[in-house]
Structure 1
Amino acid sequence: MSDGKLQKLVIKAYKDEKFSDPVGDGEFTTLVNPEKYLIVYKPEYQEEQGQGTSATQPKFTRISPQELDVELLFDSTGVIDGKPDKKDGIIDQIDTFKKIVFDYSGDEHKPYYLQIGWGALLFKGSLVDLSIEFKLFAPDGTPLRALAKLKVKGAVDEDLRAARENNKSPDLTHQRVVKAGDTLPLMTHRIYGDSKYYLEVAKANNLYSFRNLIPGQELFFPPLTKKA
């Protein structure tokens, strides 16, 4: 159950796809939480048809990476936070924001990996599109308000309830129910971002045979110190 406290949407930048190497000063907290966000799930199908044959049912091929669309408001009029800045407007805010979500890693020459967390949302992926609409200006043309639209491709945490807890405490013990097709290395990868911790998880759950998980079985994944 929610504790009723205001929680702001936070975007964190990482240098690696395992989200273990954070970017220095690579964290952005929104001024105002978004009114909505959109998660897109796209199954892909193959619709090839031989010449002269009748129509056939599309054949499922794969699930595309999920996409997250979210809009963030920038404002320097003082209406929201009581701190007007009509000299520089939102220029510094936008610059800081772009350095996190749009600047690229010098080693890989690609944008940083992003983790977006807010309430029940925990989305990890890479930026595919960013547009900024400037909506209000000072008499000299300095922008005072803007709306940034992000599209990030990646994956949302499967368990929204657990995602909400993750955003409150990154070291929280995770509890999961085994589903058909789950393996301990796979579940460990989902929780910690790396499957190599499965032996520690097996030990914590007193599992003597981690290869034969039973659907419906409940496992807990304790806080672990990451290995180098």
Structure 2
Amino acid sequence: MKKPTGKVSAFIQRYNPPLGGGNRPGGPLGGPVTFMFNPNQLTLTKSASWIPHVVRGAEQVGIPEFSGSEPRTLALTVFLDVTDSHDRTVQQRVETLLTCCTPTRASIAAKAPSPPWVKFTWGQFQTVSFYSYVSQVTATYTLFDSSGTPLRATCELNLTEISGSKPGQNPTSGGRSARRVHRVVDGDSLPLLAHREYGDPTVWRVIAEANDIDDPTRLAPGTELLLPAPDEFPAEPARGHEPTAGATALPWRR
């Protein structure tokens, strides 16, 4: 008979973002952020994108077109309480979580600013353990000592999956041979879309050219973007760094 195992604590591990446009993170960034109390609720979301086709004058709608699977999202709550410990503040723990939304020093030095990648882990619960980015951290302080030092806080975290897999392949051509349509959501950028679709964020200009985007820094949520198939790329795809604010023209256009 097996002996009962002890408590397995949930934690978040931060990783250095890939600086060369790869689809795997760098090494761990500091130690794991271990939860003081395991979460009592996790919300995992997975959705698919479909493009509806309305047939004018028809009694029934047209058959929708599947445009792709959206990344998984994970919402969780981190409860912090130091009223019964020697550590008399939760500020440092909250600030560590906030760094998940700010560029790392190494990425800034490499002129490719990016927040760390993260992975939530809780024992053998693999379904909720995947590389992701933290899209939002909301900290609510609920208890203070007489000097105003926070002793208790609740942090809401929203994680969005970063796929580490290569784009799907067509068994006959060895690569995707069909165009796709992507509906822009908050947080999207052309390099991020290029990374998800082609595994290379530096080919964002191909998406910009296919959609006649003159200002790549402005992507309105709800806009539908055409994502070209890799076999439509020019012999030497236009590559470049992430678009910067104020960009008004794409350099390969004449």
Give the structure-1-normalised TM-score.
0.58
Instruction: Return the alpha-carbon distance in structure 1 between the equivalents of residues 141 and 3 of structure 2.
Output: 34
- The answer on 1:18 being equivalent to 2:12 is no
Q: Quick one: which amino acid aligns to residue 62 of structure 2?
A: T
Report what 2:203 is aligned to. none
Structure 1 residue 65, shift from structure 2 partner: 0.4
Distance 1:152 1:4, change over 3 A: same
Pairs within 5 Å for 1:53-202: 53=58, 54-78=60-84, 82-83=85-86, 85=88, 89-99=89-99, 101-105=100-104, 106=108, 107=110, 108-119=112-123, 120-121=125-126, 122-154=129-161
- CA-to-aligned-CA distance 1:122-144 (integer Å, 9 cap, x gap): 22111111111111122332211
CA displacement 1:71-126 (0-9 Å, x = unmatched): 10111211xxx4352xxx21122223333x23312233221110111121322111
The secondary structure found in structure 1 opposite 2:62 is coil
**Alpha-carbon contact 1:14-1:26 (below 8 Å) kept:** no
Deviation string, structure 1 residues 125-180 (Cα, Å, up to 9, x no partner): 111111111111223322111111111110699xxxxxxxxxxxxxxxxxxxxxxx
Superposed CA deviations along residues 206-225 of structure 1, whole A, max 9, x for unmatched, are xxxxxxxxxxxxxxxxxxxx
After superposing on structure 2, the runs of 4+ consecutive aligned residues of structure 1 that deviate more than 6 Å are: none
- Preserved contact between residue 55 and residue 62 of structure 2 (Cα < 8 Å): no
Residue type of the partner of 1:103?
A: T
Q: How does 1:206-221 map to 2 (within 5 A)?
A: none
- Equivalent residues of 2:71, 2:163 under 8 A apart: no
Letter in 1 for 2:117: Y
> Residues 144 and 156 from structure 1, CA distance in 2 versus in 1: closer, same or farther, beyond 3 angstroms?
farther
Q: With structure 2 as the length reference, what TM-score do the two structures score?
A: 0.53
SS in 1 for 2:32: strand
Number of residue pairs aligned between Structure 1 and Structure 2: 151
Paired-residue identity, %: 19
Kept after mapping to 2: 8 A contact 1:67/1:155: no
Q: 1:118 to 1:139 in 2, by over 3 A?
A: same
Higher strand share: 1
The structure 1 residue matched to 2:54, chosen from 29, 49, 55, is 49
Q: CA RMSD in A?
A: 2.8
Which digits, 9 at most, give the CA deviation of each residue in 1:166-215, with x for residues without a partner? xxxxxxxxxxxxxxx99xxxxxxxxxxxxxxxxxxxxxxxxxxxxxxxxx
Q: Secondary structure at the match of 1:127?
A: strand
SS at match of 2:130: strand
